[in-house]
Amino acid sequence: MSTIKQKLHALCLAYVQKRIAAAEEAIAEAQQAANDDTKSSAGDKYETGREMMQQETNRNLAQLNEANKLLVALNHTSTTGSSQMVDAGSIVYTNNGDFYLAISAGQILLDGKNYIAVSPASPIGYKLKGLAPGNSFDLNGKTYQIISVE
């Protein structure tokens, strides 16, 4: 059982929870602003303001939906076990960086070392999936050599 894998999973979970909280807060603020807005004598201005707040709420609802999808994907990612084949939940060490195959959360700093959290559906995640140490692949003009898999 890899403690690095568990720590990376926890950091990804914190990333998703932060996104969910930010989206929920923005939705609540937009709804509060809409409730506080009183109809003025300039009806068009009122309607335009309400429409803008509704669009903002819709954008934040979309962000909340995406964050919830990340949470579901993360909850289906194993933090136990080790395989020599890259799959969801794997930590992949390459000559061009170290990757955690779970969700697209970008760069994660753990114990002074950088990892890049990528989704299995991302271009690099798709290329990594199913490979083993010693395998290599090309992406965007770079050759990645897999050194080890956890």
77 secondary structure, DSSP code: S
Beta pairing class for 113-118 and 97-101: parallel
Q: What is the pLDDT of residues 88-124, one digit of tens each?
A: 999 999 999 999 999 999 999 999 999 999 999 999 9
Q: How far apart are CA 58 and CA 45, in angstroms?
A: 20
pTM value > 0.85: no
Beta pairing class for 113-118 and 106-110: antiparallel
Angle in degrees, CA 9, 12, 14, rounded to 5? 110
Average pLDDT of the chain, as a whole number = 88
CA-based nearest residue to 5, from 71, 84, 85, 88: 88
pLDDT class for 41, splitting at 50, 70, 90?
very low
Q: What is the percent of the chain where pLDDT is above 70? A: 91
| Domain boundaries of the chain, sorted by first residue | 3-75, 91-149
Identify the pLDDT of residue 94. 96
